A and B are shown apart, each in its own frame.
Chain A
Protein backbone atom coordinates (compact mmCIF):
# COMPACT_ATOMS: atom_id res chain seq x y z
CA UNK A 1 0.00 0.00 0.00
CA UNK A 2 1.17 3.49 -0.74
CA UNK A 3 2.36 5.60 2.15
CA UNK A 4 3.69 9.09 2.71
CA UNK A 5 6.37 9.98 5.24
CA UNK A 6 7.04 13.38 6.70
CA UNK A 7 9.94 12.95 9.06
CA UNK A 8 9.94 16.45 10.51
CA UNK A 9 7.11 16.60 13.02
CA UNK A 10 7.81 20.11 14.30
CA UNK A 11 10.15 22.68 12.79
CA UNK A 12 10.97 25.97 14.48
CA UNK A 13 12.61 28.74 12.48
CA UNK A 14 13.28 32.43 12.77
CA UNK A 15 11.87 34.86 10.27
CA UNK A 16 13.92 35.12 7.06
CA UNK A 17 15.38 31.64 7.52
CA UNK A 18 15.17 29.19 4.65
CA UNK A 19 12.76 26.28 4.86
CA UNK A 20 12.84 22.75 3.58
CA UNK A 21 10.27 20.18 4.65
CA UNK A 22 10.80 16.59 3.67
CA UNK A 23 8.28 14.29 2.03
CA UNK A 24 8.90 10.75 0.83
CA UNK A 25 6.42 8.31 -0.64
CA UNK A 26 6.52 4.58 -1.10
CA UNK A 27 4.83 3.93 -4.43
CA UNK A 28 7.08 3.15 -7.39
CA UNK A 29 4.71 3.97 -10.22
CA UNK A 30 3.54 7.27 -11.64
CA UNK A 31 2.22 9.55 -8.92
CA UNK A 32 0.44 12.84 -8.39
CA UNK A 33 1.97 14.90 -5.57
CA UNK A 34 0.56 17.68 -3.44
CA UNK A 35 1.37 19.97 -0.55
CA UNK A 36 -1.53 21.28 1.52
CA UNK A 37 -1.32 23.83 4.34
CA UNK A 38 -3.54 24.35 7.36
CA UNK A 39 -3.20 27.77 8.95
CA UNK A 40 -4.38 28.05 12.57
CA UNK A 41 -8.15 27.91 12.71
CA UNK A 42 -8.53 27.52 8.96
CA UNK A 43 -9.29 24.81 6.41
CA UNK A 44 -6.62 22.89 4.60
CA UNK A 45 -5.79 24.54 1.32
CA UNK A 46 -3.67 23.54 -1.65
CA UNK A 47 -0.17 25.04 -1.78
CA UNK A 48 1.06 23.35 -4.95
CA UNK A 49 0.81 20.16 -6.97
CA UNK A 50 2.82 18.08 -9.42
CA UNK A 51 1.37 15.83 -12.11
CA UNK A 52 4.00 15.78 -14.84
CA UNK A 53 6.56 17.94 -16.63
CA UNK A 54 9.01 20.27 -14.88
CA UNK A 55 9.89 18.62 -11.57
CA UNK A 56 10.30 22.03 -9.92
CA UNK A 57 6.83 23.28 -9.08
CA UNK A 58 5.98 26.75 -7.87
CA UNK A 59 3.01 27.37 -5.64
CA UNK A 60 1.35 30.17 -3.77
CA UNK A 61 3.02 32.47 -1.25
CA UNK A 62 6.54 31.85 -2.57
CA UNK A 63 6.60 28.12 -1.90
CA UNK A 64 8.11 25.62 -4.31
CA UNK A 65 8.68 21.89 -4.33
CA UNK A 66 10.99 19.60 -6.25
CA UNK A 67 10.02 16.13 -7.39
CA UNK A 68 13.02 13.78 -7.38
CA UNK A 69 11.79 10.49 -8.79
CA UNK A 70 14.94 8.54 -7.93
CA UNK A 71 14.57 9.51 -4.29
CA UNK A 72 10.76 9.18 -4.15
CA UNK A 73 10.77 12.66 -2.66
CA UNK A 74 8.77 15.86 -3.02
CA UNK A 75 10.32 18.33 -0.61
CA UNK A 76 8.79 21.73 0.06
CA UNK A 77 11.00 24.81 0.11
CA UNK A 78 10.81 28.51 0.73
CA UNK A 79 13.88 30.78 0.61
CA UNK A 80 12.76 33.16 3.38
CA UNK A 81 9.94 32.38 5.77
CA UNK A 82 7.62 34.87 7.41
CA UNK A 83 5.77 34.73 10.71
CA UNK A 84 2.55 34.26 8.70
CA UNK A 85 3.87 30.91 7.42
CA UNK A 86 3.22 29.41 10.84
CA UNK A 87 0.95 26.46 10.01
CA UNK A 88 0.81 22.73 9.59
CA UNK A 89 1.98 21.39 6.24
CA UNK A 90 0.81 18.13 4.73
CA UNK A 91 2.29 16.24 1.84
CA UNK A 92 -0.13 14.03 -0.13
CA UNK A 93 0.16 11.47 -2.90
CA UNK A 94 -2.14 9.67 -5.25
CA UNK A 95 -1.20 6.98 -7.70
CA UNK A 96 -1.80 7.84 -11.35
CA UNK A 97 -3.65 4.54 -11.73
CA UNK A 98 -5.85 5.28 -8.72
CA UNK A 99 -5.93 9.03 -8.63
CA UNK A 100 -8.98 9.16 -6.38
CA UNK A 101 -7.21 7.66 -3.39
CA UNK A 102 -5.31 10.63 -1.99
CA UNK A 103 -3.09 9.68 0.93
CA UNK A 104 -1.73 12.31 3.30
CA UNK A 105 1.39 12.30 5.41
CA UNK A 106 1.33 12.91 9.15
CA UNK A 107 2.06 16.61 8.76
CA UNK A 108 4.81 18.98 9.86
CA UNK A 109 4.05 21.77 12.25
CA UNK A 110 6.01 24.90 11.36
CA UNK A 111 6.51 27.56 14.00
CA UNK A 112 8.13 30.87 13.03
CA UNK A 113 9.70 33.05 15.67
CA UNK A 114 9.08 36.74 14.93
Chain B
Protein backbone atom coordinates (compact mmCIF):
# COMPACT_ATOMS: atom_id res chain seq x y z
CA UNK B 1 0.00 0.00 0.00
CA UNK B 2 1.19 3.48 -0.83
CA UNK B 3 2.06 5.67 2.09
CA UNK B 4 4.68 6.63 4.64
CA UNK B 5 6.45 3.73 6.34
CA UNK B 6 8.33 4.20 9.60
CA UNK B 7 10.55 1.62 11.25
CA UNK B 8 10.88 0.51 13.95
CA UNK B 9 7.52 0.94 15.68
CA UNK B 10 9.03 0.70 19.15
CA UNK B 11 12.57 1.17 20.40
CA UNK B 12 14.25 1.30 23.79
CA UNK B 13 17.70 2.83 24.03
CA UNK B 14 20.15 3.45 26.81
CA UNK B 15 21.50 6.94 27.35
CA UNK B 16 24.38 7.61 24.99
CA UNK B 17 23.43 5.02 22.38
CA UNK B 18 22.87 6.04 18.79
CA UNK B 19 20.24 4.87 16.37
CA UNK B 20 18.49 5.75 13.13
CA UNK B 21 14.74 6.03 12.68
CA UNK B 22 13.80 5.09 9.17
CA UNK B 23 11.17 6.80 7.03
CA UNK B 24 10.27 5.88 3.48
CA UNK B 25 7.49 7.02 1.19
CA UNK B 26 6.46 5.64 -2.18
CA UNK B 27 4.30 8.54 -3.37
CA UNK B 28 7.14 10.49 -5.04
CA UNK B 29 6.63 13.32 -2.57
CA UNK B 30 9.24 16.05 -2.66
CA UNK B 31 8.59 17.26 0.89
CA UNK B 32 9.37 15.20 3.98
CA UNK B 33 9.61 16.12 7.63
CA UNK B 34 10.10 14.74 11.12
CA UNK B 35 8.05 15.69 14.16
CA UNK B 36 8.11 14.58 17.76
CA UNK B 37 4.89 14.38 19.75
CA UNK B 38 4.96 14.89 23.49
CA UNK B 39 2.00 15.16 25.89
CA UNK B 40 0.84 18.75 26.23
CA UNK B 41 3.28 20.00 23.61
CA UNK B 42 1.70 18.78 20.40
CA UNK B 43 3.92 18.11 17.42
CA UNK B 44 7.23 19.88 17.21
CA UNK B 45 9.13 20.06 13.94
CA UNK B 46 12.63 18.58 14.12
CA UNK B 47 13.92 18.73 10.53
CA UNK B 48 12.41 18.96 7.10
CA UNK B 49 13.43 18.51 3.47
CA UNK B 50 12.02 20.06 0.32
CA UNK B 51 13.76 17.61 -1.98
CA UNK B 52 16.65 15.22 -2.36
CA UNK B 53 19.87 16.80 -1.13
CA UNK B 54 18.12 19.63 0.72
CA UNK B 55 17.41 19.66 4.46
CA UNK B 56 16.71 22.35 7.00
CA UNK B 57 16.17 22.70 10.73
CA UNK B 58 12.83 22.93 12.42
CA UNK B 59 11.93 24.03 15.95
CA UNK B 60 13.87 21.41 17.92
CA UNK B 61 16.81 20.15 15.81
CA UNK B 62 19.42 19.70 18.56
CA UNK B 63 20.52 16.11 19.05
CA UNK B 64 19.17 14.97 15.68
CA UNK B 65 20.70 14.69 12.22
CA UNK B 66 19.02 14.04 8.88
CA UNK B 67 20.02 13.48 5.30
CA UNK B 68 18.03 13.13 2.09
CA UNK B 69 20.00 11.20 -0.49
CA UNK B 70 16.90 9.97 -2.35
CA UNK B 71 13.36 11.25 -2.80
CA UNK B 72 11.96 8.18 -1.04
CA UNK B 73 13.97 8.09 2.19
CA UNK B 74 14.45 10.54 5.04
CA UNK B 75 16.18 8.90 8.02
CA UNK B 76 16.46 10.61 11.40
CA UNK B 77 19.62 9.93 13.40
CA UNK B 78 20.04 10.26 17.13
CA UNK B 79 23.77 10.59 17.73
CA UNK B 80 23.80 10.16 21.52
CA UNK B 81 20.37 9.43 22.97
CA UNK B 82 19.18 11.30 26.04
CA UNK B 83 16.11 10.70 28.24
CA UNK B 84 14.70 14.02 26.97
CA UNK B 85 14.40 12.38 23.56
CA UNK B 86 11.84 9.91 24.84
CA UNK B 87 8.88 10.65 22.59
CA UNK B 88 6.75 9.47 19.70
CA UNK B 89 8.31 10.40 16.38
CA UNK B 90 6.29 10.98 13.23
CA UNK B 91 7.51 11.26 9.70
CA UNK B 92 5.33 13.13 7.20
CA UNK B 93 5.48 13.76 3.48
CA UNK B 94 3.66 15.95 1.03
CA UNK B 95 3.33 16.38 -2.71
CA UNK B 96 5.30 19.33 -3.94
CA UNK B 97 8.24 21.01 -2.37
CA UNK B 98 6.79 22.98 0.50
CA UNK B 99 4.56 20.75 2.58
CA UNK B 100 2.00 23.53 2.71
CA UNK B 101 -0.02 23.30 -0.51
CA UNK B 102 -1.10 19.70 -0.26
CA UNK B 103 -1.91 17.62 2.84
CA UNK B 104 0.80 16.09 4.96
CA UNK B 105 0.72 12.28 4.94
CA UNK B 106 1.87 10.89 8.28
CA UNK B 107 3.50 7.60 9.13
CA UNK B 108 2.39 5.39 12.02
CA UNK B 109 5.02 6.73 14.35
CA UNK B 110 7.98 5.33 16.27
CA UNK B 111 7.68 5.20 20.06
CA UNK B 112 11.16 5.75 21.50
CA UNK B 113 12.11 5.32 25.14
CA UNK B 114 15.54 6.36 26.39
CA UNK B 115 16.51 5.03 29.82
A49 to B103, CA, bound (A): 9
Tally of contact residues, B, Cβ under 8 A: 27
Task: Please determine whether B106 and A102 come into contact, CB atoms closer than 8 angstroms.
Answer: no
Does A27 count as interface, using CB distance less than 8 angstroms?
Answer: no
Q: What's the least CB distance linking B114 to chain A, in Å? A: 22
Give the interface residue-count category, chain A: 20 to 34
Of B31, B41, B43, most A-chain CB atoms within 10 Å: B43
A13-21, A39-47, A62-70, A72-80: which lies at the interface? A39-47
Does A112 count as interface, using CB distance less than 8 angstroms?
Answer: no
Task: Please determine whether B99 and A100 come into contact, CB atoms closer than 8 angstroms.
Answer: yes
The 6 closest A-B pairs by CB, nearest first: A106-B42, A46-B103, A99-B100, A99-B98, A104-B43, A43-B106
Report A's interface with B, CB cutoff 8 A. Answer: 1, 6, 9, 32, 36, 43-46, 49, 51, 90, 94, 99-107
Report B's interface with A, CB cutoff 8 A. Answer: 31, 33, 35, 40-45, 48, 50, 56, 58-59, 90, 92, 97-101, 103-108
Of the candidates B42, B97, B103, B107, the one whose C-beta lies within 8 Å of that of A107 is: B42
Task: Please determine whether A101 and B45 come into contact, CB atoms closer than 8 angstroms.
Answer: yes
Residues in B neighbouring A36, C-beta threshold 8 A: 104
Task: Please determine whether B40 and A100 come into contact, CB atoms closer than 8 angstroms.
Answer: no
**A-B contacts, 11 listed (Cβ < 8 Å):** A44-B92, A44-B104, A45-B106, A49-B103, A90-B42, A100-B48, A101-B56, A101-B58, A102-B100, A103-B45, A104-B45
A1 to B44, CA, bound (A): 13
Task: Please determine whether B48 and A6 come into contact, CB atoms closer than 8 angstroms.
Answer: no
Give B30's nearest chain A residue, CB to CB. A100
Known interface pairs A6-B42, A32-B101, A99-B99; 16 further A-B residue pairs with C-beta atoms within 8 A, sorted by A's residue number: A44-B92, A44-B104, A45-B103, A46-B104, A49-B103, A51-B100, A51-B101, A90-B42, A100-B48, A102-B48, A102-B104, A103-B45, A104-B42, A106-B40, A106-B42, A107-B42
Task: Please determine whether B35 and A104 come into contact, CB atoms closer than 8 angstroms.
Answer: yes
